[in-house]
Amino acid sequence: MTKGIVTGIVSNLVLIEVQGPVSQNEICSVVHEGLPLMAEVIKVLGNTAYAQVFESTRGIRIGTEVEFTKKMLEVSLGPGMLSKNYDGLQHDLNKMKSVFLKRGEYTEALDYDVKWDWTPIAQPGDKVTGGDWLGEVPENWIKHKIMVPFTMTAEYTIKSVTPAGQYTIDETVAVLVDKASKEHKINMIQTWPVKLSVRAYKDKPRPSRQMETGIRTIDTLNPIVEGGTGFIPGPFGAGKTVLQHSLSKNAEADLIIVAACGERANEVVELFTEFPHLDDPRTGRKLMERTIIICNTSNMPVAAREASVYTAMTIAEYYRTMGLKVLLLADSTSRWAQALREMSNRMEELPGPDAFPMDLPAIISNFYARAGFVYLNNGNTGSITFIGTVSPAGGNLKEPVTESTKKAARCFYALSQARADSKRYPAVDPLDSYSKYLEYEEVQEYLNANVSPNWVEEVLHTKDLLIRGREAYDQIGILGEDSVPLAYHDRYWKSELIDRIILQQDGFDPIDSSTPMARQRYMLELILSICDMDFDFDSFEDVMPYFTKMINLCKQMNYAEYGSVTFKRYESELHTLVAERRISK
C-alpha cells in the first residue's frame, strides 16, 4: 500500500508527497489525530498528489500521514439499501448517533447482521456474466435480485447455487467458475466505482413508454417517458423543490432515489419526516419503503457533494439491472457544478465561462447519458428516468449549467418567476417548456394507444390555444380592452381556462395534488370541447365574469373525488352554464 505525507494545505485541498505509485481518483485517508479522513486524488504532479478531502481540514498539519487504498470511490451494493438515508459517500446517516456529524465517523452502508430470505433463480451449469441474476431476496416490496458482480465481465459457469434459506449478505450464495477453472465465491454484496457507468445490459433502445407523474402540466402537455431525462431550471422561489417532491410522491416508479445535493437541510428533513407516513397509492405501503435518500446538504463538505450525484446514479443503475423502473431526482445539479468550480479554482486551472471548469458540458452530458431504458441480458427491461433541477444564477437561463444541461436533457420544464409571483403553481411555463419525446414516433403511438386515440393531436391543439391566448393577451395589453375585437377576449379567457384548470394544480390538496392519466384525459377533453365552442357576448365586459364562473366550477371539480356525486353535480352545473351562451352551429 502506498503511503505519503502532507506537504501543503489550501482549504480542502491537500498536497501529499507520495512514496510509491498513485492513480488519478484514488481514495486515500489523511490520518488526523487517529481519525482517517477520506480524500480523493484529483491531480498528480511529479511525486506530489493533490487530493480533495471530503471533510473539514481544520487542524491538519504538515507531515500528517496519508494512506492510499488503490481503489476509486466505490459504493457497496446489496439488499438493505431501500429506505436508507445516506450521505454523499454512502455512509448511513441513521447509524451516526450524535447530533453533529463527527469528522471521520464513517458508517457501513449495508447491514451485516440481517438475514435475507434467499431464493435461487439460476441453476448449476448456467453460463453467466456480470449483471445476470443468480437469485432473489425480498426487500420491502421489491424482489431484490442478487447478481453476478458487474466487475466480472467475462463468461462464467455456475458450479453451485446455495439452496433457499436465510442468509446474511456476506455468506456465499453461489460459486462460479471462469474459463481458467478458477472458482469465484459470490455473496450478496458487490462494489462499483461511482464515476464509471454500469453496462451490464444488452441494449439501450429509444424510450417509448410514458412515465406518469400525476402532474398535469407534465403528463398532459410535456410528458416524460420511462428512461427519459429532464431538467427543471428556475430562479429561487419558483417551486423547483416542491415540484420535485410532488414527483417523488406521485410518479409511477418502482423505486425513487433522491439526491439532495447541496440544498437546504430542512427540505430533506421534510422527506425524512413525511415519507415514512405517506402512502404509496400503488402498493399501499409507505412511500419511504420505495425511497433511498442520498443527502449532502449545503453545509456538508463540498467535495462530497460532487460524489453524491454519482453515488445516487450508481445505486440507480444497480436497481435498473434488476429490471426495475427507477426514478432518480437530483436537487440541484447547479450545486454539483459549483463544487466542481470550487475545486477547479483551488487547482488554479484556467477557468471557462463564469469560472466553471472548461469540461463542464462534457461532465454533465456524460452524467445524463447514464439514465435510460434498457433491455437486460435476460430480455427483461429496466429504466432510469432522471430529472435534475438547475438553479441558474439570477434566474438567467443563459448561464453555463443551464446551457450545458439543455444539450443533454430531453425534457425542459422552465419555471417562470412571473407565474410564481402570481401564484400559478406549478410555475412551469407552458410555452417555453418542451418535451422532445412528444416528437418520437414510438411515444406518439404509445400515447394514442394508451391515453386516447387522438391524444397527441389534442395536446398540440391545447398548446396552440395557449399560444393564441398569450397573443390575444398581449394585444389587449397594447390596444386596450375596448379597442380589440371581442374574439380576443374570448381567445384569452379560453387559454386562461386551460391554464387555471389543466396547468395549475394545488400540490397541497389531497385530491388535486395527483391526477391519474384517465382523469387528465377526461378533464382535457372536457375543457377542449368548451374551447372549441362559440359563445355569444354583448360586450367584452361579459366575457370575464362568465369565464370566471366556469373556472370556479371546474376548480371545484378538480378538488372533488373523480366521478363522485359532487364531481358530477359541478359538472352538470358547468354544462348548464355553458349552454347559457353557447351558439349552436
Partner 1 sequence: MNSTAFQKIYTKLNQITKATCSVKAAGVGNEEMAIVSGRYAQVVKIIGDSVTLQIFSGTEGIGTDAEVVFLGKPPVLKVSDQLAGRFFNAYGEPIDGGPEVEGEEVEIGGPSVNPVQRKQPSELIATGIAGIDLNNTLVTGQKIPFFADPDQPFNQVMATVALRAEADKIILGGMGLSNDDYLYYKNTFENAGVIDRIISFVNTTENPPVERLLVPNMALTAAEYFALEKKEKVLVLLTDMTLYCDALSIVSNRMDQIPSKDSMPGSLYSDLAKLYEKAAQFPDGGSITIIAVTTLSGGDITHAIPDNTGYITEGQLYLRRDTDISRVIVDPFRSLSRLKQLVIGKKTREDHPQVMNTAIRLYADAANAKTKLENGFDLSDYDERVLKFAREYSQAILAIDVNIDTVNMLDTCWELFKKHFNKHEIGIKEEFMTQYWK
**Candidate list 2, 4, 9, 377; residue touching partner 1; CB under 8 A:** 9
- 474 touching partner 1, by CB under 8 A: no
Q: Which of residues 156-215 bind partner 1 (CB under 8 A)?
A: none
Report the candidate in 358, 370, 146 with the shortest Cα–Cα distance to residue 257.
370
The string of DSSP letters for 476-512 reads HHHH-GGGS-HHHHHHHHHHHHHIIIII---TTSTTT
Rounded distance, CA 100 to CA 95, Å? Answer: 12
Binding piece for partner 1, criterion CB under 8 A, among 91-99, 129-137, 166-174, 206-214? 91-99
Q: How many CA atoms lie within 13 A of 566 on its CB side?
A: 10
- Which positions ≥6 away from 84 have C-beta within 8 Å? 92, 94, 109, 292, 293
Binding piece for partner 1, criterion CB under 8 A, among 157-165, 321-329, 402-410, 548-556? 548-556
Rounded distance, CA 510 to CA 508, Å? Answer: 6
Encoded one letter per residue, x for contact with partner 1 by CB under 8 A and - for no contact, window 112-151 reads ----------------------------------------
Rounded distance, CA 17 to CA 3, Å? Answer: 9
Taking the least distance from each CB to partner 1, the nearer of 235 and 430 is 235
Q: How far is CA 191 from CA 150, 319, 405, 422, 477, in A?
A: 8, 13, 29, 49, 61
Report the candidate in 70, 20, 19, 61 with the shortest Cα–Cα distance to residue 41.
70
Q: Which of residues 403-432 bind partner 1 (CB under 8 A)?
A: 421-423
Binding piece for partner 1, criterion CB under 8 A, among 68-76, 157-165, 315-323, 475-483? 475-483
Taking the least distance from each CB to partner 1, the nearer of 94 and 454 is 94
Rounded distance, CA 21 to CA 484, Å? Answer: 77
Taking the least distance from each CB to partner 1, the nearer of 310 and 425 is 425
Taking the least distance from each CB to partner 1, the nearer of 222 and 297 is 297
Closest separation in Å from C-beta 426 to partner 1: 14
Closest separation in Å from C-beta 83 to partner 1: 12
- 551 touching partner 1, by CB under 8 A: yes
Asked if the peptide bond before residue 23 counts as cis, ω within 30 degrees of 0, the response is no
Taking the least distance from each CB to partner 1, the nearer of 300 and 447 is 300
* Number of residues engaging partner 1 in binding (CB under 8 A): 74
Q: Which of residues 480-539 bind partner 1 (CB under 8 A)?
A: 480-482, 508
Taking the least distance from each CB to partner 1, the nearer of 183 and 354 is 354
Closest separation in Å from C-beta 512 to partner 1: 10
Q: How many CB atoms lie within 10 A of CB 499?
A: 19
Encoded one letter per residue, x for contact with partner 1 by CB under 8 A and - for no contact, window 328-347 reads ----x--x--x--xx--x--
Taking the least distance from each CB to partner 1, the nearer of 101 and 121 is 101
Q: How many CB atoms lie within 10 A of CB 490?
A: 20
Closest separation in Å from C-beta 211 to partner 1: 26
What is the Cα Rg of the chain in Å?
27
Rounded distance, CA 449 to CA 442, Å? Answer: 11
Closest separation in Å from C-beta 529 to partner 1: 21
- 473 touching partner 1, by CB under 8 A: no
Taking the least distance from each CB to partner 1, the nearer of 422 and 529 is 422
- 72 touching partner 1, by CB under 8 A: no
Report the candidate in 145, 434, 585, 501 with the shortest Cα–Cα distance to residue 493.
501
Compute the C-alpha angle 325/454/438, nearest 5°: 45
Q: Which secondary structure element, helix H or strand E, spans residue 226, and what is its range? A: none
- 59 touching partner 1, by CB under 8 A: yes
**Candidate list 5, 35, 72, 101; residue touching partner 1; CB under 8 A:** 101
Report the candidate in 519, 524, 526 with the shortest Cα–Cα distance to residue 562.
519
- 245 touching partner 1, by CB under 8 A: no
**Candidate list 1, 100, 163, 583; residue touching partner 1; CB under 8 A:** 100
- Where in 525-585 does DSSP place strands (E)? 534-535, 582-583
Closest separation in Å from C-beta 233 to partner 1: 12
Taking the least distance from each CB to partner 1, the nearer of 6 and 328 is 6
- 262 touching partner 1, by CB under 8 A: yes
Taking the least distance from each CB to partner 1, the nearer of 122 and 261 is 261
Q: Which phi and psi angles does 8 have, rounded to 5°? A: -165, 150
CB 402 within 8 A of CB 233: yes
Encoded one letter per residue, x for contact with partner 1 by CB under 8 A and - for no contact, window 266-305 reads x-xxx-xx---------------------x-xxxx-x---
Q: Which of residues 17-46 bind partner 1 (CB under 8 A)?
A: none
Taking the least distance from each CB to partner 1, the nearer of 30 and 173 is 30
Burial label, 385 (beta-carbon count in 10 A; 0-12, 13-18, 19+): buried
Compute the C-alpha angle 81/243/317, nearest 5°: 30
Q: Assign residue 354 a region (left: φ > 0; alpha: ψ between -120 and 50; beta: otherwise).
A: left
- 102 touching partner 1, by CB under 8 A: yes
Give the total residue count for the chain: 585
Rounded distance, CA 339 to CA 360, Å? Answer: 11
Using DSSP's 3-state secondary structure scheme, residue 375 falls into: strand
- 107 touching partner 1, by CB under 8 A: no
- 576 touching partner 1, by CB under 8 A: no
Closest separation in Å from C-beta 480 to partner 1: 4
- 15 touching partner 1, by CB under 8 A: yes
Rounded distance, CA 109 to CA 98, Å? Answer: 17
Taking the least distance from each CB to partner 1, the nearer of 62 and 467 is 62
Binding piece for partner 1, criterion CB under 8 A, among 161-169, 207-215, 314-322, 549-557? 549-557
